[in-house]
Amino acid sequence: MRLDALQPGRTVIYCYPDTGVPGRPLPPEWDALPGARGCTNEACAFRDHHAELAELGADVLGISGQRAGEQREAVRRLGLPFPLLSDEDGALRDALRLPTFTVDGSEYLSRLTLVVRDGRVEHVFYPVFPPDGHAEEVLAWLRTAGAHARPQASHRRFEPPAAEAEAAAPLRGLEEIEPEAFGASQRVHGALRRVDVYGDKPVVARESALTRARTWMRDSSRGGAEEEARIDAELDATPRVTRTNTIAIVSPKGGVGKTTCTFLLGDLIAARRRLRVLAVDANRDFGTLAVLAPDSLRVKRSLADLLMDLDRVDTASQLGAYVSPLPSGLHVLGAPERAELMAEMTPQLYGELLDFLSRFYDLILLDLGTGIIDPLAQFGIQRADQAVIVTTTEYVTADKVLGALGYMHDADQRSGTGPSKRLTVVLNRVGKGAEKEREAVESAFLALGVRRHVVMPHDERLRLMLDSATYDIDALARPVRVAVKQLGLAVAEKLV
């Protein structure tokens, strides 16, 4: 089947990872992977609503990377009145740069839907969740967009087996469906791309043989393993949330790792506690939080776009067009690329945005810009249930942070709450040989009544993972991994 030879009018092309084949096991833990489960239910939903879609002038095609024979088998087994096409050679995936994920060395299409009208992509649904409700979502959009009748009012029904074999053939003739139409949502932002810097190979920090040996010995120590097991158990035992919690991540000085801490915290809690977590880039000056998402998952729309469209976003699926979904389950809402748009943000607008987002998420992390007195930072701190303040051991940074802690301490005293109940301090990028500086800063924390703080070691592997969008907590050395989990526990314990 040639996609440049589709009938005039609209065609709904839904992409999915894998329907599964009787007798062939799916990869281990497939059902636990975000976005993997539900392909059969999605196909059956499009089958059950096929007549309604036809009345609105829309054909339906399903596409995955499975073999043509597997697609034909699924059509027969599920009784589908439309074809399932094979993109086994990745022609469609590569032409439109569609998002994918990899399991056990195999690459799968992420779940998304294209509405193609007269050879051009008219609308994109991405991400898609839940799969079994997506057909109804497409119907609702078609009704809003207006039915588009086909010439001669004919709607061809799929008729196996003759048409089936042609439909399941590998795709050809994709040049007429322009990548630009799919969009912007999956294109790498800016002139410089990650692949230009890192290529398409996994990024691993270079370590000498001696360093690897020392790391193995340290990570294999019984004490380290017992500590990590204890933290894991305490994380798993933290209570369920009863409402949306907001966390402000702040620092009076830039370049200390606020965005890194926001990302690490959100990724851990989303994966470990299975909460609906959103990290919001609230930095006024070219925020970089969204850039930590893999290029294939990063959407172009920003919080400025969402604010303009609030009255048109009613469902979690519609909200998905504005947030970048990570494999852990964390969602990221990026700042606009034009910094002048952020300059127009006011506490009132942020309040409206947070009120709206609270309908969809259990935990919202605010990656605030540099400063404590800034009106947006003040709003974020006052609005938040908790605050995470980030510093390093450098004197200039630590001195400013200690001053900010004193300011926040006085503010908390006036409001009747102590800082130890709502504040977590992160001493970030602590290098080897910095024990003296670390001890001095920790003593100053104690003098201000801060009892809980987390020490995050400097780690080149972590830096490379974040910069190359290949972050994997299990690939970190144990001391760094434990520090990330300590930060997650410090915040999770105070969720309400």
pLDDT per position as a tens digit, 328-347: 999 999 988 776 667 677 88
**Residue 218: per-residue pLDDT:** 56
Phi, psi of 277 (to 5 degrees): -115, 135
State the average pLDDT over residues 8-31: 87
Structural domains in the chain?
3-187 (3.40.30.10), 197-492 (3.40.50.300)
**Residue 184: per-residue pLDDT:** 36
**Residue 22: per-residue pLDDT:** 86
**Residue 189: per-residue pLDDT:** 36
Nearest to 108 by CA among 67, 70, 65: 65
Q: Which two three-digit tokens encode residue 4?
A: 């440049």
Residue 188 pLDDT greater than 80, yes or no: no
DSSP 324: E
**Is 124 within 8 Å of 36 (Cβ atoms)?**
no
CA–CA dist 153, 158 (Å, integer): 16
Tens digit of pLDDT for each residue in 299-311? 888 888 898 888 8
**Residue 101: per-residue pLDDT:** 83
**Is 112 within 8 Å of 98 (Cβ atoms)?**
yes
| Comparison of pLDDT for 392 and 166, the residue scoring more | 392
Q: Which of 122-126, 191-195, 255-259 has the lowest mean pLDDT?
A: 191-195
Nearest to 350 by CA among 380, 305, 385: 380
Q: Within a 13 Å sphere around the CA of 27, how many CA atoms are in the beta-carbon half?
A: 15
| Comparison of pLDDT for 342 and 376, the residue scoring more | 376
Could you tell me which residues come within 8 angstroms of residue 75 by beta carbon, excluding any fewer than 6 positions away? 83, 84, 158, 160, 164, 168
Most confident of 120-134, 354-368, 438-452: 354-368
Look up the pTM and report it: 0.61
DSSP 191: S
Tens digit of pLDDT for each residue in 477-492? 999 999 999 999 999 9
**Is 405 within 8 Å of 389 (Cβ atoms)?**
yes
**Is 116 within 8 Å of 11 (Cβ atoms)?**
yes
User: Residue 494 — pLDDT band, cuts 50, 70, 90?
Assistant: very high
Tens digit of pLDDT for each residue in 219-248? 555 567 899 999 999 999 998 899 999 999
User: Residue 5 — pLDDT band, cuts 50, 70, 90?
Assistant: low
State the average pLDDT over residues 128-133: 88
Residue 399, CA distances (Å) to 56, 251, 278, 404 in order: 65, 12, 31, 9
**Residue 236: per-residue pLDDT:** 92
User: DSSP readout, 55-86?
Assistant: HTTEEEEEEESS-HHHHHHHHHHHT-SS-EEE
**Residue 292: per-residue pLDDT:** 92
Residue 179 pLDDT greater than 80, yes or no: no
**Is 295 within 8 Å of 324 (Cβ atoms)?**
no
Angle at 196 between CA 184 and CA 171, to 5 degrees: 55
**Residue 180: per-residue pLDDT:** 38
Dihedral angle computed from the Cα positions of residues 299, 304, 307 and 312, in that order, rounded to the nearest 10 degrees: -40
